[in-house]
Amino acid sequence: MLATSSVLIVAGSETSITMLSCTMNHLVQNPDKMALLAAKIRKAFKREDDFALSPLRDLPYLNVVLNEGLRMCNSTPVGAPRVVPPGCGTVSGVRFPEGEFINMHSLTVSRSPKIWYDSNPFHPKRWLEKKSAEFGMDQQNAIQLSGVDLRSCIGRLLTWAEIRLILARLV
Ligand code: HEM
């Protein structure tokens, strides 16, 4: 019970806080985007008490700001380390011996100019303009917030509920 609680607190708090601080940092440095987000939220909700999970989930600009915040500063920078199973393993055509520790740093993916157009600045609209000349070639699936498959994040729904509510209140 103690160990499980400890895992949930560590896995669930640092990750969300890092992601939110990073997003807020980029919003503060981009006042036009901060103003646009605030306007969208105030248009959708008359009072702070009206914030509820399901209408917040349906606010496109809030979601793309959070996606871009996550791209800019992934809260699991160590990636998802794995040990190659018995026999050997192949990743992207490269063979690794059994027992080898392999990992991919999340920021190498989320800031790569081979994957993202104009990869270093904060562009929430890249998530809306999937067919634009600029952002149309972005490989959005390259980012997997919650990991994939069997060991993926059990807190992903809670995370999105949390970060939407908190950011909406902050702006
Ligand atoms: C921005 C917030 C979060 C991010 C970016 C995140 C990311 C991840 C990732 C990438 C994994 C998979 C690691 C792997 O494949 O080795 C993971 C696993 C996990 N996450 Fe999260 N997480 C977040 C929030 C949370 C929250 C709120 C909780 C719980 C309250 C949580 C609990 C866990 C647990 C227990 C695992 C291990 C699952 C397993 O191995 O079966 N996470 N998380």
| Average pLDDT for 41-63 | 94
Q: Kindly give the distance from the C-alpha atom of residue 154 to the centroid of ligand 1, in angstroms, as a whole number.
A: 6
148 Cα nearest atom in ligand 1: 15
Instruction: Kindly report the pTM of this predicted structure.
Output: 0.91
Q: In terms of pLDDT, which residue wins out, 167 or 146?
A: 167
Asked if 127 contacts 59 with a C-beta cutoff of 8 angstroms, the reply is: no
Pocket of ligand 1 (CB under 6 A): 7-8, 11-12, 15-16, 19, 75-76, 80, 145-147, 151-155, 158-159
**Residue 29: φ, ψ to 5°:** -80, -10
Mean pLDDT rounded to a whole number for the chain:
92
Characterize the bridge pairing of strands 101-102 and 88-91: unpaired
For the chain, what is the radius of gyration of the CA atoms?
A: 18
- Closest by Cα among 108, 30, 114 to 65: 30
- What per-residue confidence (pLDDT) applies to 92? 85
Q: Where are the domains of the chain?
A: 2-170
| Architecture, CATH, for domain 2-170 | Orthogonal Bundle (1.10)
Distance in Å, CA 132 to ligand 1 centroid: 32
Three-class SS state of 91: strand
Q: What is the pLDDT of residue 146?
A: 85
Q: Separation of 35 CA from ligand 1 center, angstroms?
A: 31
How many residues would you count in the chain?
A: 171
Q: 97-130: per-residue pLDDT in tens?
A: 999 999 888 888 999 999 999 999 999 999 998 8
pLDDT tens for residues 9-21? 888 888 999 999 9
Instruction: Tell me the per-residue pLDDT of 21-43, one tens digit each, with 9 for 90 and over.
Output: 999 999 999 999 999 999 999 99
**Which pLDDT value is given to residue 91?**
87
